[in-house]
Every structure is written in C-alpha cells, then in structure tokens.
C-alpha cells in the first residue's frame, strides 16, 4: 500500500502545481573551471539552473521529487548527470530529450516505481546507467533500454525487484559491467539475461533465490556464466547441500573467476561447494566479508581436485563460534597449486609451514592485518629454511611483529623475493646488521616506531618506504635506490643526495623541515619527482625566491604533491599563506641594496633640498630669524625694565647705517650738517635756526664689550628713524648688510610701530643691486621716495633741508 500511496501523493502534488514544468528554478553557482557543477547536498527541491556549458551536473543528496519537461533544456553538452539519493518519483517522459550528449546517468536510491522507455529514447550516447534501489518491481512493459546501443555499464534492481522477463534487456548487446540486485526475485524467464555478449564483470545479489528457489538461481547463473566472465555473488546465505546446487550451472559453464561477497556460510556448505566445483578450471576463488558457522569439519573436501586454482583470496573472515571451531588444517590442500594466496584481516595467527608439496608454486603471499607474532611467523616461514623457493612478494603488514632481525633471518634464503611489506608492526629499533635476499628491491617499514636507521637496510633496495616513524636523520648509503618515502617523520633537513646517486622520487612530506635551497637539491642529480609539502616552512627571502623561481618555474624536477601543500608557518604575518604566492618586500630581501639605494637617494634629496634652500635664501632667513628672536628677547627685557620712562628709550633721532668706506662722507658732511648748530639762512624769511639732531653711529655710540647684534638692535630701538647710506660700498659691506637685515625685521615687526626707513643714495644705485632676500625692502625702495646726494653744488642745500624734514617728520615748505 505504501508505493501506490506515494505515487498518488506525487501525482496530486503535480496536478495542484500552478505551473507544471514552468515554475521558477533556483540557481546553483558551484561550477569549476572544468565546467563541473557540484550541487550535491544543496537542499534543492527542484532542479536548479547552471550554466548551459556544464559538462558534469551533480545533484545527488537533495530533495528533488520530480524532473519537469524544461528542467534540463539547453544542456546539450552535458556528459554526466547524477540524481542519486533524491526523493525523485516522477520524471517527465521528455525530460532527458535535450541531453543528446549524455554519457553517464545515475538515478539510484530514489522513488521511481515505474521505468519508461521514453526517458532513454534520445540518449543514444549513454554509456553508463545506474537504476539501483528504486521501488520498481519489474523493468517496465516495453523494452526500457532499446535505444541504448552504446550502453556499456548497467546497474539495476533493488529490494522491490520481483520479475525479469525475456526481452527486458532487448537492445543491450554487450556490457563491460552488469550489476543486478535481485535478492527478492520471484519470477524469472529463462533467457532474460542471456543475450548480452560479450559480457565483462557480473555482480549478482540473489539472497532469496538461493534460499527458496534454487531453480530460479540456477537459471540466472546459467544465462550469465561464461568462462571468461568474472562472477561476483553477493548477500548469499549458504547452509547445507541444497543451497549450493545452483553452482552446478556455473560449474557446467566452466567458470574461471568466482567471488563470494557478504556471505554467511557453514563448513558443510563450503565442503559441498568444493565438491560441486571439483575439476572445474576455476583460476580465481575469492571470499570477501564472510561469516563462518560450524565446527570445521572438512574431511570430504580433501577428495576434490582444484589444481587449476591460481589465486586464492580471503578477506574479513569471521568464525562465529571460535571455541567450537577446530582449524583449517584439513583445507591446506587448497594451497598446493595457487601462485597467489591472500588471507587478509581474518584473525589468522599462523599458516602451516609450507612443506612439500604445499605452496611449491607460491609467488605472492599476503597475510596482512592478522595476528602473526615473531613466534608464529617462524612456523609460517618454516624457520627460514627457504622452502618458499618461488616467493616473490610477501606482505605481513599490520600484525604484531616486534623483531626486525627475526624477519630478516626468516626471509634471507628466499632467493627470489623482490617485494617485502612489513609495515604497521611494532619495530622500535633496527639492529646493526641484517641478512637479506640479494634479490630484494622493495621494502616497506612504514608506520612502525623506528627512531634511527642502521646498516641493517639492504643496499640492493630500489624502493624504500620509512614513512610515519620517528626518524630524525638518514645517513645510509643506498646507491641503487630510486624511490625514498620519508613522510610523517621528524626530519629537520633533507638527507644528503650524495647517498642516493640514482634517486628519482623523494617524498618527505609532513616532517619538521623549515626550508630547503638549491644546495640541498643539487646533489640529487637524477631526482624527477619531489614531494615536500605539509612542512613548517619559514618563508625567508632565500627560500621564497628559490621556490618561486626554480621549483615553480619547472625544469627536470617537479613538485608532484601540488603547490597548495607548501604553506608558510612563519613569520607570523605570513602564516597560512601559500609559498608560491608570497610577495616579500624588497627592504627585507635585499637589505644591502635597499640601504645603499636609500642612502644614495637620501644624499641626492638632501643635496637637492640644500640647493633649493640656498637658492631661496632659507639659511639666511633661519639665521636672521634666530638672531632676531634672540635680540628681540633682550630688547623685551630692556623695555620691561624701562617701561616707566618711554622717553628714555628714544635717545637718538636717527640710527645711521653706512659702510666704513663711506665714513668720510658721514663724518665730513652728514654729522656736521645735522648735529652741529647752524645759523639761520637769511633767505629763508625766518629767524628760527634748525634744531641740532642726535645721530647714532656705530663707531661712536655702540657699547664696547656687547654683542654686535645687541648693539644694532639697541641702536634701532633707541632711534626714531633709521637712515641707510646706500652705495656700492654699502651693498658689499657685511656689517651694513647685517644692519640692513635687522632693519628689515624691525620695520616689518608687527609690534615695532616705527616709521619707514630713510634711504640716501650717495651714488646712482638700482634696486636690483640690493640682495634679493630683502624682498620687502626692495619693494619699499620701489614704493617710497628716497634721497639722492646731488652732484650739483646748488642742490646740496635742498638735500639737507629735505633730510632734516624727513628726520623731524615735517613737510617741506617748498
């Protein structure tokens, strides 16, 4: 009742949907550069939209109940479509029509109750189809696979499959792989699966037919059994003689490869099976995941002939009642002829010594993941007598072995042994000396507890695996070695390449390497494959540059573990960054060059700045500002001291600034004219004579012992006016320029409050002759009238009268 109800609800949902096939679709943007779109586990309830150029579309593990007519429109380039693990119950008959390039389709683990041939009618390129674990009971009323002429891999069936009819696989002519899960198959028409040829590997799940309908199971096996077709039978429960009778059909067809998987079997059924297969040219017999019941009674089995068996494989065998079980010793005749024997993860603690004629042909022996100890290994390998003369490969990994010297002694006489795997055992030390077969080329001692390496290792090795130990160094010379695997140890540096002159592959991942450089690898002259990722790299400049320029750049050596495994561990600011993408500053990587360039640039900039400052007279401004501030501070102290007597501050009518070379003019003309009393000029029309003026001259009035700048500032402060006697001598005089400099500051100090300076030109002088740093004074000379010493005798009187008026602040009457 459950399946019709689900179908009804789905159809009702579709009918009530307002826009069947036209509803808006969610989008999925998880597509990579290879146009593979992985939209699995996305909780989608309808088919999302992706780029129409997608080649792979994975929609597994969502909640999509249906595929509408237009859900896949435009995806003509799609090669792979995966709808595994949805709630898919309805697929429109034309939903897959646009997928004319589709090669793989997975519809497994859904709720498809019926299969329709229309789904696949346009999928002529389909090569792989998975229909497993859907609730359909048959393959449809008409041939579902009729148009799938290129189909090569087919999986169908599930718990609900009950019927297979002749013609169900019409159109399927040859397959590389066929899987049929028919544990509950009730009806089978003979020949339903017989038309498929050639047929590769076949996997059949026939639990119920083997228990309840032997004839049905025989019919299925008869249609699919061919001598060269490997048959895998799953989910069988073989108890007693009757349950193994279906194998008579496979025996009749001369089957050569038989695998029993997920098996529950009794010792009686095993004996009966061996009797059924007596004389059959079976070359490979495999038992995988088996539970054995019974007490281990094998007497009748020893009468059977299995001399054609070449490989005997047992994995995950569990004896249900181990305390009542005797042993497998009576089955040792099965080991007389095989060349390959594997007993894996089956709690085996010993194998009987291979006395003649047992195991005389054995070339491959795998007893990994069992309970072998040093003591039981002595019995298994016949105490090192070299009985297994043909043995080439021995795998005893994952056991409880402790002594490496015992292993070397037991295999020393195996003259054809080339491969030895003793990994995942409890070796904690390596003896100083060991004896090994001269033919040994491959040795695996990974996942042990070794801390040091000794000369115990054979020098004939070509491949050595010491991964996942506690090694810190390797200083053993192995000239024939081609591959060395040292991942998962504690190496701080790469072993010297001079020890391995023929090494082509080096794996030293997940150690404690900090860095490596060109010198570390140059000694490996033939190295082609290098795996050094997942170490704690210090991303120094040398290491990063070497990695990016040499390793990443190519050459004879290649990083085969991917650039993403090379990550910086330090410095802290680079932690987690990929070494191949790190960009270090030039100041860190080229310190000498950086400092040199910086110094040169600094000197150049400093020179440029100094030149610029010199050109704009910045040093003069700085010097004058400092002197001015210092002098002004002294002036302020004097003003504060004489604040009550403002007249005391003004002692002179004018401070005269002149050049020493113009002293004669000052003393012979200026001073007598302005300081000495003069009789009234009769032509003036008045009786008033000019008032004598008081002049401040540096030669006469500067205080000896005082700083010259203080004298200049003091003179300017105590004078009402400043008179500059301008001449070529004045411009060339340093002291005159000082006085002019300070006058420049004094005149334009906001607190000075003085009147403008008086300029007297003793000789014709252009303002361009005044230094350019006195820009305001040059401007004053352009905007203010100045006095010129006349060359004509008759104009001298007028000159003195104008000068007196300027000094006294009076206007010229004329």
Q: Quick one: pLDDT at residue 678?
A: 63
The Cα–Cα gap between 283 and 255 comes to: 9
Cβ within 8 Å of residue 73, ≥6 positions away: 98
696, 715 Cβ separation under 8 angstroms: yes
C-alpha closest to that of 369 among 414, 423, 415, 309: 423
Least confident of 32-46, 270-284, 348-362, 791-805: 348-362
The verdict on whether omega for the bond into residue 357 sits within 30 degrees of 0, i.e. cis, is yes
Q: Lowest-confidence range among 59-63, 74-78, 307-311, 755-759?
A: 755-759
Question: Which residue would you say has higher pLDDT here, 754 or 539?
Answer: 539
In tens, the pLDDT along 479-532 reads 999 999 999 999 999 999 999 999 999 999 999 999 888 888 888 989 989 999
Question: Which sign, positive or negative, has the C-alpha torsion 11, 15, 16, 22?
Answer: positive
Q: Could you give the CA distance from residue 228 to residue 284 in angstroms, rounded to a whole number?
A: 11
Query: pLDDT: is 81 or 795 the higher one?
Result: 81
Tell me the fold of 652-674+691-813: Rossmann fold (3.40.50)
What per-residue confidence (pLDDT) applies to 22?
45
Q: Which pLDDT score, from 0 to 100, does residue 759 have?
A: 83
**pLDDT bucket at 302, cuts 50 / 70 / 90:** confident
pLDDT 10s digits, 673-713:
888 766 554 444 445 567 788 888 888 887 787 777 777 77
Give me 516's structure tokens. 């490596």
Give the range with max mean pLDDT: 178-187, 323-332, 640-649. 178-187
Per-residue pLDDT, 640 = 65
Element (H or E) spanning 341, and its range? strand 340-344
* Domains of the chain, residue spans: 26-196, 199-338, 652-674+691-813
**What's the pLDDT score for residue 16?**
41
More confident residue, 562 or 288: 288
**Lowest mean pLDDT, pick from 207-221, 244-258, 736-750, 777-791:** 736-750
Rg of the Cα trace of the chain? 55
- Please state the rounded mean pLDDT for residues 165-184: 94
Are 469 and 450 a contacting pair, CB within 8 Å?
yes
Residue 814: per-residue pLDDT: 37
Q: What is the mean pLDDT of residues 406-431?
A: 96
User: Which has more pLDDT, 65 or 775?
Assistant: 65
CA distance 495 to 730: 86
Q: CB neighbours of 686 closer than 8 A, spacing ≥ 6?
A: 680
For residue 412, give the 3-state DSSP assignment. Answer: coil
How big is the CA angle at 303 (ends 301 and 307), to the nearest 5 degrees?
A: 95
- Selecting from 1.10.357, 3.80.10, 3.90.1530, 3.30.70, what CATH number does the domain 199-338 have? 3.80.10
Report the pLDDT value the prediction gives residue 596, as an integer from 0 to 100. Answer: 83
Largest CA distance in the chain: 173
Give pLDDT, residue 735: 59
Of residues 286 and 805, more confidence is placed in 286
Give the pLDDT of residue 639.
61
Residue range 390-408, pLDDT digits in tens = 999 999 999 999 999 999 9
pTM, two decimals, is 0.73
Average model confidence (pLDDT) across the chain = 86
Distance CA 265, CA 111 (A): 33
Evaluate if residue 439 carries a pLDDT over 50: yes
- Distances from the Cα of 128 to the Cα of 93, 112, 139, 399, 649, angstroms: 19, 18, 17, 41, 116
Residue 477: the pLDDT is 94
User: Which pLDDT band holds residue 745 (cuts at 50, 70, 90)?
Assistant: low
| pLDDT recorded at residue 13 | 44
Same fold, 199-338 and 652-674+691-813: no
> What phi and psi, each to the nearest 5 degrees, are found at residue 722?
-120, 125
26-196 is classed in which CATH architecture? Alpha-Beta Horseshoe (3.80)
Confidence of residue 613 (pLDDT cuts 50, 70, 90): confident
Tell me, what's the pLDDT at 288?
97
Kindly write down the DSSP assignment for every residue of 788-807, as one continuous string: E--SSGGGHHHHHHHHHHHH
Tokens of 148: 């799938």
H-helix or E-strand spanning residue 538? strand 537-538
What is the spatial distance between Cα 178 and Cα 115, in angstroms, rounded to a whole number? Answer: 18
- pLDDT tens readout for residues 227-236: 999 999 999 9
- Tell me what pLDDT residue 796 has: 86
Residues 191/220, Cβ–Cβ less than 8 Å = no
User: Is pLDDT of 284 > 50?
Assistant: yes
pLDDT at 724: 84
Which pLDDT value is given to residue 400? 96
The alpha carbon of 430 is separated from its chain's Cα centroid by a whole number of angstroms, namely 38
Q: Is the pLDDT of residue 411 over 70?
A: yes
CA–CA dist 391, 182 (Å, integer): 41
491 contacts 511 by C-beta, under 8 angstroms: yes
pLDDT confidence bin for 270, thresholds 50/70/90: very high
Residue 153 near residue 180 (C-beta atoms within 8 A): no
Write out pLDDT tens, residues 147-163: 999 999 999 999 999 99
Beta bridge partners of 233: 204, 260
């Amino acid at each position: 009742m459950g399946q019709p109800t689900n179908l009804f609800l789905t159809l009702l949902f579709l009918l009530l949907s307002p826009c069947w096939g036209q509803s808006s679709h969610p989008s999925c943007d998880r597509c990579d550069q290879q146009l593979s779109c992985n939209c699995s586990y996305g909780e989608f309830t309808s088919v999302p939209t992706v780029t129409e150029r997608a080649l792979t579309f994975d929609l597994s593990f969502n909640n999509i109940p249906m595929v509408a007519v237009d859900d896949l429109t435009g995806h003509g380039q799609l090669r792979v479509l995966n709808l595994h693990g949805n709630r898919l119950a309805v697929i429109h008959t034309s939903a897959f029509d646009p997928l004319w390039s589709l090669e793989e389709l997975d519809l497994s683990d859904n709720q498809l109750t019926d299969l329709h041939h229309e789904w696949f009618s346009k999928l002529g390129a389909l090569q792989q189809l998975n229909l497993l674990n859907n609730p359909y009971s048959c393959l449809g009323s008409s041939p579902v696979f009729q148009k799938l002429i290129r189909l090569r891999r087919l999986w169908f069936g599930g718990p609900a499959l009950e019927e297979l009819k002749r013609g169900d696989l019409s159109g399927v002519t040859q397959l590389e792989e066929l899987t049929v899960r028919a544990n509950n198959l009730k009806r089978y028409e003979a020949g339903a699966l017989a038309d498929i040829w050639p047929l590769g590997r076949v996997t059949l799940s026939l639990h119920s037919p083997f228990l309840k309908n032997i004839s049905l199971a025989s019919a299925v096996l008869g249609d699919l059994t061919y001598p060269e077709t490997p048959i895998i039978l799953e989910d069988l429960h073989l108890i007693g003689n009757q349950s193994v009778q279906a194998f008579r059909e496979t025996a009749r067809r001369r089957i050569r490869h038989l695998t029993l998987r997920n098996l529950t079997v009794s010792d009686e059924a095993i004996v009966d099976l061996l009797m059924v297969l007596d004389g059959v040219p079976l070359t490979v017999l495999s038992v995988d995941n088996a539970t054995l019941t019974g007490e281990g009674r094998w007497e009748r089995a020893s009468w059977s002939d299995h001399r054609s068996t070449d490989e005997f494989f047992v994995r995950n065998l569990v004896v249900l009642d181990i305390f009542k079980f005797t042993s497998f010793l009576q089955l040792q005749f099965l080991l007389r002829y095989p060349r390959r024997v594997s007993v894996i993860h089956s709690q085996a603690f010993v194998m009987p010594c291979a006395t003649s004629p047992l195991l005389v042909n054995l070339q491959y022996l795998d007893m990994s993941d069992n309970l072998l100890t040093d003591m039981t290994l002595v019995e298994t390998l016949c105490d090192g007598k070299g009985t297994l003369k043909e043995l080439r490969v021995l795998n005893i990994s994952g056991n409880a072995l402790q002594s490496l010297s015992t292993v070397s002694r037991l295999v020393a006489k195996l003259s054809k042994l080339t491969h030895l795997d003793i990994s995942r055992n409890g070796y904690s030390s390596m003896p100083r000396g060991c004896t090994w077969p001269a033919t040994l080329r491959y040795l695996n001692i990974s996942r042990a507890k070794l801390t040091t390496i000794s000369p115990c290792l054979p020098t004939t090795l070509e491949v050595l695996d010491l991964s996942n130990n506690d090694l810190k160094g390797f200083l053993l010379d192995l000239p024939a070695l081609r591959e060395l695997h040292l991942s998962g140890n504690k190496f701080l540096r790469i072993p010297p390449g001079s020890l391995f002159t023929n090494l082509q592959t080096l794996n030293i991942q997940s150690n404690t390497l900090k860095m490596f450089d060109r010198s570390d690898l140059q000694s490996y002259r033939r190295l082609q494959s290098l795996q050094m990722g997942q170490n704690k790299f210090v991303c120094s400049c040398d290491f990063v540059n070497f990695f990016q320029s040499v390793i990443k750049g190519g050459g004879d050596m290649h990083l085969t573990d991917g650039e993403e495994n090379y990550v910086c561990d330090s410095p802290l600011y680079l932690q987690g960054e990929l070494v191949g993408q790190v960009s270090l500053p030039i100041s860190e990587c080229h310190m000498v060059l950086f400092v040199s360039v910086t110094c040169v640039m600094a000197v150049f900039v400093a020179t440029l700045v100094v030149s610029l400052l010199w050109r704009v007279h910045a040093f003069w401004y700085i010097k004058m500002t400092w002197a001015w501030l210092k002098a002004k501070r002294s002036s302020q102290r004097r003003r504060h001291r004489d604040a009550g007597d403002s007249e005391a501050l003004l002692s002179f009518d004018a401070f005269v600034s002149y050049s020493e070379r113009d002293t004669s003019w000052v003393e012979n003309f200026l001073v007598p004219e302005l300081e000495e009393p003069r009789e009234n000029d009769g032509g003036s029309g008045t009786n008033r004579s000019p008032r004598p003026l008081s002049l401040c001259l540096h030669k006469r009035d500067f205080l000896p012992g005082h700083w010259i700048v203080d004298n200049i500032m003091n003179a300017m402060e105590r004078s009402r006016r400043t008179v500059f006697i301008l001449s070529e001598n004045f411009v060339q005089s340093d002291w005159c320029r000082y006085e002019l400099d300070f006058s420049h500051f004094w005149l334009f100090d906001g607190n000075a409050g003085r009147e403008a300076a008086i300029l007297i030109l003793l000789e014709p002088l252009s303002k361009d002759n005044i230094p350019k740093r006195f820009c305001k004074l040059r401007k004053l000379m352009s905007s203010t009238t100045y006095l010129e010493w006349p060359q004509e005798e008759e104009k001298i009187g007028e000159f003195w009268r104008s000068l007196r008026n300027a000094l006294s602040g009076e206007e010229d009457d004329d």
